[in-house]
Amino acid sequence: MYKKISLFIALLVIAILASGPVLAQMQSKPDEELTKEEAEKLIQEWQSKVNVLDDQLKNLDADIEFLKKEMEDTKKQLADCNDAIYKMLGLTPAEVEAFKQQLGLLEGKVRDMKRFNDDQLAEKTDEIKALENELNLLRGNKASLIPEHYNKIVSLAREIKGLYREKKIKSYTVGTWAKDKDCLWNIAGKIDIYGDPFLWPKIWQFNTDAIRNPDIIFPGQVLQLPPAGPKTSDELKAERKYWRMKRAAAEEQKPEAAKQPE
Protein backbone atom coordinates (compact mmCIF):
# COMPACT_ATOMS: atom_id res chain seq x y z
CA MET A 1 0.00 0.00 0.00
CA TYR A 2 2.77 2.45 0.93
CA LYS A 3 4.57 1.73 -2.35
CA LYS A 4 1.45 2.69 -4.29
CA ILE A 5 1.03 5.92 -2.34
CA SER A 6 4.67 6.74 -3.10
CA LEU A 7 4.04 5.98 -6.77
CA PHE A 8 1.01 8.27 -6.69
CA ILE A 9 3.08 11.15 -5.33
CA ALA A 10 5.81 10.51 -7.91
CA LEU A 11 3.27 10.63 -10.77
CA LEU A 12 1.95 13.91 -9.45
CA VAL A 13 5.42 15.44 -9.42
CA ILE A 14 6.18 14.14 -12.93
CA ALA A 15 2.92 15.53 -14.28
CA ILE A 16 3.61 18.95 -12.83
CA LEU A 17 7.20 19.00 -14.09
CA ALA A 18 6.18 17.85 -17.58
CA SER A 19 3.78 20.71 -18.01
CA GLY A 20 6.03 23.15 -16.23
CA PRO A 21 7.16 25.38 -19.09
CA VAL A 22 3.68 25.82 -20.61
CA LEU A 23 1.91 26.29 -17.30
CA ALA A 24 4.61 28.54 -15.97
CA GLN A 25 4.27 30.82 -18.97
CA MET A 26 0.50 30.99 -18.61
CA GLN A 27 0.52 31.33 -14.86
CA SER A 28 3.01 34.16 -15.04
CA LYS A 29 0.33 36.25 -16.68
CA PRO A 30 -2.40 37.87 -14.62
CA ASP A 31 -5.80 36.27 -15.24
CA GLU A 32 -7.11 39.34 -17.02
CA GLU A 33 -4.27 39.14 -19.59
CA LEU A 34 -4.98 35.52 -20.60
CA THR A 35 -6.63 34.95 -23.91
CA LYS A 36 -9.73 32.80 -23.98
CA GLU A 37 -7.73 30.06 -25.72
CA GLU A 38 -4.95 30.21 -23.08
CA ALA A 39 -7.43 30.18 -20.21
CA GLU A 40 -9.28 27.18 -21.66
CA LYS A 41 -6.01 25.34 -22.25
CA LEU A 42 -4.88 26.07 -18.71
CA ILE A 43 -8.16 24.80 -17.30
CA GLN A 44 -7.95 21.65 -19.45
CA GLU A 45 -4.40 20.99 -18.27
CA TRP A 46 -5.36 21.22 -14.64
CA GLN A 47 -8.57 19.27 -15.14
CA SER A 48 -6.59 16.50 -16.83
CA LYS A 49 -4.25 16.33 -13.84
CA VAL A 50 -7.18 16.33 -11.42
CA ASN A 51 -8.74 13.44 -13.34
CA VAL A 52 -5.50 11.47 -13.23
CA LEU A 53 -5.13 12.09 -9.52
CA ASP A 54 -8.75 11.22 -8.90
CA ASP A 55 -8.30 7.89 -10.69
CA GLN A 56 -5.16 7.22 -8.65
CA LEU A 57 -7.03 8.02 -5.44
CA LYS A 58 -9.85 5.65 -6.36
CA ASN A 59 -7.34 2.90 -7.06
CA LEU A 60 -5.65 3.52 -3.72
CA ASP A 61 -8.99 3.44 -1.92
CA ALA A 62 -9.75 0.12 -3.59
CA ASP A 63 -6.33 -1.22 -2.55
CA ILE A 64 -6.93 -0.08 1.04
CA GLU A 65 -10.29 -1.83 1.16
CA PHE A 66 -8.71 -4.98 -0.24
CA LEU A 67 -5.92 -4.89 2.35
CA LYS A 68 -8.44 -4.29 5.14
CA LYS A 69 -10.41 -7.34 4.08
CA GLU A 70 -7.20 -9.36 3.76
CA MET A 71 -6.17 -8.30 7.27
CA GLU A 72 -9.56 -9.26 8.70
CA ASP A 73 -9.34 -12.65 6.97
CA THR A 74 -5.85 -13.16 8.42
CA LYS A 75 -7.08 -12.23 11.92
CA LYS A 76 -9.91 -14.73 11.61
CA GLN A 77 -7.54 -17.45 10.40
CA LEU A 78 -5.24 -16.71 13.35
CA ALA A 79 -8.15 -16.85 15.80
CA ASP A 80 -9.33 -20.15 14.29
CA CYS A 81 -5.78 -21.52 14.50
CA ASN A 82 -5.50 -20.47 18.17
CA ASP A 83 -8.86 -22.03 18.95
CA ALA A 84 -7.69 -25.29 17.39
CA ILE A 85 -4.48 -25.20 19.45
CA TYR A 86 -6.39 -24.46 22.67
CA LYS A 87 -8.77 -27.33 21.96
CA MET A 88 -5.91 -29.69 21.21
CA LEU A 89 -4.19 -28.75 24.50
CA GLY A 90 -7.43 -28.86 26.48
CA LEU A 91 -7.24 -25.18 27.43
CA THR A 92 -9.85 -22.45 27.63
CA PRO A 93 -9.17 -18.87 26.45
CA ALA A 94 -9.41 -17.78 30.11
CA GLU A 95 -6.69 -20.24 31.12
CA VAL A 96 -4.46 -19.04 28.29
CA GLU A 97 -5.01 -15.42 29.32
CA ALA A 98 -4.16 -16.24 32.96
CA PHE A 99 -0.95 -17.94 31.82
CA LYS A 100 -0.07 -14.93 29.67
CA GLN A 101 -0.45 -12.65 32.69
CA GLN A 102 1.80 -14.89 34.82
CA LEU A 103 4.39 -14.85 32.07
CA GLY A 104 4.14 -11.07 31.86
CA LEU A 105 4.71 -10.72 35.62
CA LEU A 106 7.81 -12.90 35.40
CA GLU A 107 9.11 -10.80 32.49
CA GLY A 108 8.71 -7.73 34.70
CA LYS A 109 10.67 -9.33 37.56
CA VAL A 110 13.51 -10.29 35.22
CA ARG A 111 13.52 -6.77 33.76
CA ASP A 112 13.78 -5.29 37.27
CA MET A 113 16.60 -7.68 38.19
CA LYS A 114 18.62 -6.63 35.13
CA ARG A 115 18.89 -3.11 36.57
CA PHE A 116 21.31 -4.29 39.29
CA ASN A 117 25.08 -4.17 38.82
CA ASP A 118 27.36 -7.21 38.97
CA ASP A 119 28.16 -6.90 42.68
CA GLN A 120 24.48 -6.59 43.56
CA LEU A 121 23.55 -9.55 41.38
CA ALA A 122 26.23 -11.64 43.10
CA GLU A 123 24.27 -11.11 46.33
CA LYS A 124 20.94 -12.07 44.76
CA THR A 125 21.67 -15.65 43.74
CA ASP A 126 18.72 -16.96 45.77
CA GLU A 127 16.35 -14.48 44.13
CA ILE A 128 17.62 -15.43 40.68
CA LYS A 129 17.12 -19.12 41.51
CA ALA A 130 13.57 -18.27 42.58
CA LEU A 131 12.97 -16.70 39.15
CA GLU A 132 14.35 -19.83 37.51
CA ASN A 133 12.04 -22.02 39.60
CA GLU A 134 9.08 -19.82 38.71
CA LEU A 135 9.92 -20.18 35.03
CA ASN A 136 10.21 -23.96 35.38
CA LEU A 137 6.73 -24.08 36.91
CA LEU A 138 5.38 -22.16 33.93
CA ARG A 139 7.16 -24.59 31.63
CA GLY A 140 5.10 -27.37 33.17
CA ASN A 141 1.88 -25.66 32.09
CA LYS A 142 0.37 -26.87 28.81
CA ALA A 143 -0.06 -23.24 27.74
CA SER A 144 3.74 -23.01 27.43
CA LEU A 145 3.47 -25.09 24.24
CA ILE A 146 1.66 -22.28 22.43
CA PRO A 147 4.28 -20.88 20.00
CA GLU A 148 3.94 -17.29 21.24
CA HIS A 149 4.51 -18.39 24.86
CA TYR A 150 7.18 -20.95 24.01
CA ASN A 151 9.38 -18.34 22.33
CA LYS A 152 9.06 -16.01 25.34
CA ILE A 153 9.96 -18.80 27.75
CA VAL A 154 13.09 -19.67 25.76
CA SER A 155 14.10 -16.00 25.76
CA LEU A 156 13.41 -15.64 29.52
CA ALA A 157 15.44 -18.74 30.33
CA ARG A 158 18.39 -17.24 28.49
CA GLU A 159 17.99 -13.89 30.29
CA ILE A 160 17.73 -15.49 33.75
CA LYS A 161 20.84 -17.60 33.14
CA GLY A 162 22.64 -14.40 32.22
CA LEU A 163 21.83 -12.85 35.61
CA TYR A 164 24.09 -15.15 37.62
CA ARG A 165 27.31 -13.56 38.84
CA GLU A 166 30.24 -15.03 40.76
CA LYS A 167 30.88 -13.52 44.17
CA LYS A 168 34.11 -11.57 44.25
CA ILE A 169 36.13 -12.81 47.21
CA LYS A 170 38.76 -10.42 48.53
CA SER A 171 41.54 -11.31 50.94
CA TYR A 172 43.20 -9.51 53.84
CA THR A 173 46.61 -10.15 55.37
CA VAL A 174 46.57 -9.73 59.14
CA GLY A 175 49.02 -7.16 60.50
CA THR A 176 50.43 -6.85 64.00
CA TRP A 177 48.46 -5.60 66.96
CA ALA A 178 51.17 -3.09 67.87
CA LYS A 179 51.12 -1.44 64.45
CA ASP A 180 47.75 -2.22 62.88
CA LYS A 181 45.55 -3.09 65.89
CA ASP A 182 44.22 -5.97 63.79
CA CYS A 183 41.44 -8.09 65.24
CA LEU A 184 38.27 -9.31 63.53
CA TRP A 185 36.30 -6.38 64.99
CA ASN A 186 38.76 -3.76 63.69
CA ILE A 187 39.24 -5.47 60.34
CA ALA A 188 35.47 -5.55 59.69
CA GLY A 189 35.30 -1.89 60.67
CA LYS A 190 37.82 -0.79 58.02
CA ILE A 191 36.18 1.42 55.39
CA ASP A 192 37.59 -0.64 52.50
CA ILE A 193 36.33 -3.90 54.08
CA TYR A 194 32.81 -3.50 55.50
CA GLY A 195 32.94 -0.20 57.35
CA ASP A 196 30.98 -1.94 60.13
CA PRO A 197 32.79 -3.74 62.99
CA PHE A 198 29.62 -5.62 63.94
CA LEU A 199 30.04 -7.70 60.78
CA TRP A 200 33.15 -9.43 62.19
CA PRO A 201 31.32 -12.82 62.43
CA LYS A 202 31.20 -12.90 58.61
CA ILE A 203 35.01 -13.03 58.46
CA TRP A 204 35.16 -15.60 61.25
CA GLN A 205 32.63 -17.99 59.73
CA PHE A 206 34.16 -17.68 56.27
CA ASN A 207 37.56 -18.67 57.66
CA THR A 208 36.73 -21.37 60.24
CA ASP A 209 39.47 -23.55 58.75
CA ALA A 210 42.03 -20.92 59.76
CA ILE A 211 40.36 -19.35 62.82
CA ARG A 212 39.57 -21.66 65.74
CA ASN A 213 39.08 -18.90 68.28
CA PRO A 214 37.77 -15.58 66.86
CA ASP A 215 39.67 -13.74 69.61
CA ILE A 216 42.98 -15.01 68.27
CA ILE A 217 44.37 -14.25 64.81
CA PHE A 218 48.03 -14.11 63.85
CA PRO A 219 50.12 -11.62 61.87
CA GLY A 220 50.62 -12.86 58.33
CA GLN A 221 47.39 -14.85 58.22
CA VAL A 222 45.55 -14.40 54.92
CA LEU A 223 41.82 -14.16 55.57
CA GLN A 224 39.23 -14.51 52.82
CA LEU A 225 36.57 -11.79 52.95
CA PRO A 226 33.03 -12.65 51.82
CA PRO A 227 31.00 -9.89 50.11
CA ALA A 228 29.40 -7.30 52.36
CA GLY A 229 25.82 -7.79 53.43
CA PRO A 230 23.64 -8.62 56.43
CA LYS A 231 24.77 -11.47 58.66
CA THR A 232 23.31 -14.82 57.65
CA SER A 233 21.36 -17.02 60.06
CA ASP A 234 24.43 -19.26 60.52
CA GLU A 235 26.63 -16.25 61.26
CA LEU A 236 24.13 -14.92 63.80
CA LYS A 237 23.88 -18.35 65.42
CA ALA A 238 27.69 -18.59 65.71
CA GLU A 239 27.85 -15.07 67.15
CA ARG A 240 25.23 -15.84 69.83
CA LYS A 241 27.09 -19.01 70.78
CA TYR A 242 30.35 -17.03 71.04
CA TRP A 243 28.83 -14.50 73.46
CA ARG A 244 27.26 -17.26 75.57
CA MET A 245 30.65 -18.90 75.88
CA LYS A 246 32.27 -15.56 76.78
CA ARG A 247 29.71 -14.95 79.52
CA ALA A 248 30.13 -18.49 80.84
CA ALA A 249 33.92 -18.07 80.90
CA ALA A 250 33.56 -14.76 82.75
CA GLU A 251 31.31 -16.39 85.34
CA GLU A 252 33.87 -19.14 85.86
CA GLN A 253 36.58 -16.59 86.58
CA LYS A 254 34.62 -14.80 89.34
CA PRO A 255 35.85 -15.50 92.93
CA GLU A 256 33.82 -18.12 94.76
CA ALA A 257 32.70 -15.56 97.35
CA ALA A 258 31.31 -13.31 94.65
CA LYS A 259 29.23 -16.21 93.34
CA GLN A 260 27.59 -16.89 96.77
CA PRO A 261 24.40 -14.95 97.47
CA GLU A 262 24.57 -12.68 100.55
The upper half-sphere exposure of residue 112, i.e. CA atoms within 13 Å in the direction of its Cβ, equals: 10
211 and 242 co-located in one domain: yes
Which of 131, 161, 191 represents a domain boundary (last residue)?
161
Number of domains in the chain: 2
Burial class (CB in 10 A: 0-12, 13-18, 19+), 201: buried
Which of 161, 195, 215 represents a domain boundary (last residue)?
161
193 and 220 co-located in one domain: yes
Q: Are 216 and 183 in contact (CB under 8 A)?
A: no
The upper half-sphere exposure of residue 89, i.e. CA atoms within 13 Å in the direction of its Cβ, equals: 19
Task: Band the pLDDT of 111: cuts 50, 70, 90.
Answer: very high
Rounded to an integer, the average pLDDT of 190-216 is 94
Domain of 249, in residue numbers: 170-259
Task: Band the pLDDT of 214: cuts 50, 70, 90.
Answer: very high
Mean pLDDT of the residues in the chain:
86
181 and 148 co-located in one domain: no
How does pLDDT run across 134-170, given as a tens digit for each residue? 999 999 999 999 988 999 999 999 999 999 988 777 8
156 and 122 co-located in one domain: yes
In the prediction, which pLDDT does 198 show?
96
* Domain annotation covers residue 42: no
Rounded to an integer, the average pLDDT of 231-253 is 92
227 and 176 co-located in one domain: yes
Which of 106, 137, 161 represents a domain boundary (last residue)?
161
* Domain annotation covers residue 121: yes
Q: Which is nearest to 146 in space by CA: 93, 105, 107?
A: 93
Which CATH number goes with the domain that contains 222? Answer: 3.10.350
* Domain annotation covers residue 221: yes
Which contacts of 65-73 are long-range, i.e. CB under 8 A and separated by 24 or more positions? 67/1
